[in-house]
Chains A and B, each alone.
Chain A
Amino acid sequence: MPDAASAERQIRRGRAVTLIALLGLAVLYVMALQFTPPERTMGLVQKLYYVHPPAAYAMQLAFLTTGLCSLLYLLLRDERFDLFAEASAEVGMVMGMIVVITGPIWGRPAWGVWWAWEPRLTFTVLELLVFGGYFALRGAVRDPQERAKFAAVLGMMALVLVPFNHLTVYYFASQHPEPVALRAGKPALPFEMLRTFLTGFGVFTVLYIGLAMQRYGIGVRAAHQEVADA
């Protein structure tokens, strides 16, 4: 495990990256509100489009990373993978929260309902529930090694569940907009919108990295504390 000093370094570095991401987020807001034309039918609420899909992508990235770190932990038994799996899962939960909060704010004016049981929403909820269980499990095991092992087993199972969740929600009637930017052929988006949209993806990637680095450092610090307390 990294020593305590490097944990502090990690947290500081993570903070710097997060700061850059937050500056980027401010730029994104200004771009979206000031330098991107409003959408013709939806108007102002459509601006959420520059935050909501990037957050959804960051959630997927985070949970996928947790799954891969779980696999690596089981193969190599290096606790750094366990700590990063935990850090990534927690950031994934935050990103998921952003998704399920911004979604209804857009859904109410656009669909007329706050919530609908349609594929993407249902899928997001299923993901959040699995990783909610992941944290419940982590919280219920005292021994750090056993906790790492159990969490990794659940992380791997969750990774395998993802395609099955996709297959299931496929049968829910969809009313969610189809991707307009990331699709085969030419994006059906004016250049200004596309520019802001892709900036959103960049900003959320950096935000994920910054938050995960900090959380990883905090995890290492907590692990040292746990050893000291034992």
Chain B
Amino acid sequence: MSVLRVALLIAAKDLRIERRSRTALHTATLFAVLVLLTVVFARDGGSVSLLTLAPSVLWITIALSSLVALNRAFTLEREHAALEGILLAPVPRSALFLGKWLANLAFVSLVMTITFPLWILFYGVAVTPALFAVAAVALLASIGVTAIGTVFSAMAVRTRHAELLLPVLMLPFLLPPIFFAAQSTVRLLAGRPLDELWGSFRFLLLYDVAFATMAALLFPAVVDE
């Protein structure tokens, strides 16, 4: 079997488990909604409009709920010592990485897809074609982020404080892409022309390529016994 085929099988297995139980998806979505609401409650309604906060809130919500979602990837494997099973099978480590990454990317995208309309609704964001570009930025940012998350969650799950450690490891790596994603969102919502965004797009693309490569190279070292 080719690496890609094995990777797709692993990703499909993860997503099938998720589809049947739906606990992680429900929890991550609920969490995202709660973050959206927290800002509404923590705001001075008289002086700061929701629309001013909207771009920041979107990225804070995506960042935090991605962390919750990424925790899921390897806890599942740990619970039933399932990872040992996969590692014993004649599966190349690169296929395992690719599979886990694809599953994480699909899962995070799903959480974002549910969060996105709620964000538009709660924060009174105007529905314009620019929102497609915002969604594209989100997808672009999540490629690199989930690649890093796949490696870090594989490490964190084998430590003593997995749930606490993953955010602490991940957030410093999330800050640069969040900066550019938020900058582009501000410009898109203000109706600025697309060519103002090339800088941010290039940064995110470079970030994706660099960290996807690093993650793929380093992942085998993490799961090796």
Interface residues of A (CB under 8 A from B): 74, 126, 129-130, 132-133, 136-137, 140-142, 146, 149-150, 152-154, 156-157, 160-161, 164-165, 167-168, 171
Q: Please indicate the chain B residues that have their CB under 8 angstroms from the CB of A141 in the complex.
A: 158-160
Known interface pairs A160-B214, A167-B176. Does A132 touch B221 (Cβ–Cβ under 8 Å)? no
Instruction: Let me know if B210 is at the binding interface, CB within 8 A.
Output: yes
Q: Please indicate the chain A residues that have their CB under 8 angstroms from the CB of B175 in the complex.
A: 126, 168
Within 8 A of A (CB), among B107-162: 148, 151-152, 155, 158-161
Q: Please indicate the chain B residues that have their CB under 8 angstroms from the CB of A152 in the complex.
A: 221
B176 lies within 8 A of A165 (CB)? yes
Which residue among B155, B158, B180 has the maximum number of chain A CB atoms within 10 Å of its CB? B155
Q: Please indicate the chain A residues that have their CB under 8 angstroms from the CB of B206 in the complex.
A: 164
B176 lies within 8 A of A136 (CB)? no
B168 lies within 8 A of A132 (CB)? yes
Instruction: Let me know if B8 is at the binding interface, CB within 8 A.
Output: no
Q: Apart from A137-B155, A164-B207, what 15 extra A-B contacts exist at CB < 8 Å?
A: A133-B168, A136-B169, A140-B159, A141-B160, A149-B224, A150-B155, A153-B151, A154-B169, A157-B148, A157-B214, A157-B218, A160-B210, A160-B211, A161-B172, A167-B176
B176 lies within 8 A of A150 (CB)? no
Q: Which of A126, A142, A153, A160 contacts B172 (CB 8 A)?
A: A126
For the complex, what is the distance from the CA of A157 to the CA of B222, rounded to whole Å? 13
B173 lies within 8 A of A157 (CB)? yes
B210 lies within 8 A of A150 (CB)? no
Instruction: Let me know if B59 is at the binding interface, CB within 8 A.
Output: no
B169 lies within 8 A of A137 (CB)? yes
B155 lies within 8 A of A130 (CB)? no
B176 lies within 8 A of A153 (CB)? no
